[in-house]
Copies of this chain bind each other. A is one copy, B any other.
Amino acid sequence: MFLERFRSEGLSHLSYVLGDAGEAFVVDPRRDVDDYLECAHRHGSRITRILETHRNEDYVVGSCELAARTGATIHHGAALGFRYGLPAGDGQCFESGDLRIEVLETPGHTDESLAFALYDLAGDERLPVAVFTGDTLFIGSTGRTDLLEDRATESAARLYDSVHGKLLPLGDQTLIYPAHGAGSVCGSGMAKREFSSIGYERGTNPVFRLDREAFIRHKLAERPYQPPYFRHMEQVNQEGPVIRGHPPTPLPLTATAFAEAMANGLWAVDVRSPEAIAGALIPGSLALPVEMISAFAGWFLPDGIEIGLIADRYGDVEEAVRRLYRLGYDRIDARLDDGLHGWEVTGRPYQTVPPIHASALKERMESGTPFTLLDVRGRSEIATAALPGATEIYLGELPGALDRIPPERPITTFCGSGRRSIIAASLLLRAGFDQVEICLGSMEACKAVGCPIERRS
């Protein structure tokens, strides 16, 4: 029996291939499926089943893509009307060799959420070895329960009941394999560690340490942000995504051709490092350092647009494509040849975002210099550490809140460590603000240099 985990960086999405006796099952595949095929081959197995723990909202699920390549059957929860695959429910089993998967209905995160308990028939056929928990139970946390907006309380309660009624009875010895790790937008408070057991969670996870009422209050208090592309993803994953075969291949454009394409509607997305973007960026481009794509592309890039990438290295282009493709962006047709250097040598204009050091920020705040300190962190981060006098607008909501920012004063963008700040700076430049600075290091540096910090909760 084998089991391999696949991590999609950025999304912090975890998928799994498990198998025995020549068959393999894949849990929650992503859209670029080559790694699963390679894994199955290495183990001499054919992929026969694809198990979805739930309809995902944060990425395009790869089930249809993988089924097209392998002929495997797709299974998902019966409580939602999928346009593909077969419904599965409590007690249903899938076996191959010594491997047995038993389906558990675990509503809460979504109505149709499933978990899959794993048994090794060569060991003890009644004692589960592991469980794939989807977005129901994370390591150190639980899945968000705000997606069904008018039923948040009910969802939290159902999730609590699923965990206590379905997962806890599996026993302390049961290893847990969730669908996300730390950094995912599908939950908060996940441990950075990616291995645990029911027994360990029982000692540490809020879902076990709080009683039912307290847990529901805890979940209602979480209020995670919901990127606008979630609704589109839900629809796509319910209907079954279009099969593409492979990610798009962006072709190089000269600076002249790239500028022309931008004039014709191409979205220029700059995936370089925050420092490089601060050094020089193309007017009208959107800053999205490659590590930030998974978390923020869905806030700013509309579905269906044509995208042109700006990168220093071709490796970054490939990584950016992979991340955008997983979010459903299929038209990534261009990249700026020779990166920003190719642009500079043509004499075309570029902008810069002057960096402000945390010490300089501190001085400014102390001296009362008029400027807007724009903090784009989320409400939970701000609650624990805020700078006095800052204008607080969450990054994802910035495009709709620009009228809160006075255009005549310098604006210093600010976040946790400086990465989101460069995105904010580019959004402001795109919107016509012309005195935009960035605080590299942001809150972490502010703490280090002794800025006055407020704790609100």
Chain A residues with CB under 8 Å of chain B are 1-3, 20, 22, 37, 41-42, 44-46, 69-71, 98, 120, 122-124, 127, 129-130, 140, 171-175, 191-200, 202-204, 245-246, 249, 251-254, 272-280, 312-316, 337-341, 344-347, 349-350, 352, 354-355, 357-359, 417-419, 440-442, 444-449
Residue contact A195 to B129, C-beta cutoff 8 Å = yes
Bound: A129/B198 CA distance, A: 11
Listed A/B pairs (9) with beta-carbon separation below 8 Å: A123-B140, A129-B193, A129-B195, A174-B199, A275-B340, A279-B440, A313-B315, A341-B418, A344-B441
Residue contact B345 to A448, C-beta cutoff 8 Å = yes
User: Which among A45, A173, A279, A347 has the highest number of chain B CB atoms within 10 Å?
Assistant: A279
Residue contact A202 to B175, C-beta cutoff 8 Å = no
Q: Which of the residues B245, B312, B341, B441 comes within 8 Å of A245, measured between beta carbons?
A: B245
Contacts of A129 in B (CB 8 A): 193, 195-196, 200
Question: Beyond the given A123-B203, A273-B279, A341-B417, could you list 18 further A-B residue pairs with CB under 8 A, ordered by the A residue number?
Answer: A3-B193, A20-B192, A22-B254, A44-B338, A46-B251, A46-B252, A46-B253, A120-B193, A173-B197, A246-B246, A274-B341, A275-B275, A276-B279, A279-B355, A280-B440, A313-B313, A346-B448, A347-B446
Residue contact A313 to B316, C-beta cutoff 8 Å = yes
Contacts of A69 in B (CB 8 A): 249
Given known pairs A445-B346, A448-B345, the reply for A280 and B355 (CB within 8 Å) is: yes
Smallest beta-carbon distance A253→chain B, Å: 8
> 5 nearest interchain CB pairs?
A173-B199, A347-B448, A275-B279, A279-B279, A276-B276
Smallest beta-carbon distance A170→chain B, Å: 10
Bound: A98/B140 CA distance, A: 14
Residue contact B41 to A314, C-beta cutoff 8 Å = yes
Given known pairs A245-B246, A276-B272, the reply for A173 and B198 (CB within 8 Å) is: yes
Residue contact B345 to A444, C-beta cutoff 8 Å = yes
Residue contact B280 to A344, C-beta cutoff 8 Å = no
Given known pairs A173-B202, A252-B44, A441-B347, the reply for A273 and B339 (CB within 8 Å) is: yes
Q: Which of the residues B22, B173, B347, B352 comes within 8 Å of A203, measured between beta carbons?
A: B173
Given known pairs A249-B37, A419-B341, the reply for A449 and B347 (CB within 8 Å) is: yes
Residue contact B252 to A337, C-beta cutoff 8 Å = no
Contacts of A252 in B (CB 8 A): 22, 41, 44-46
Bound: A2/B139 CA distance, A: 13
Residue contact A275 to B276, C-beta cutoff 8 Å = yes
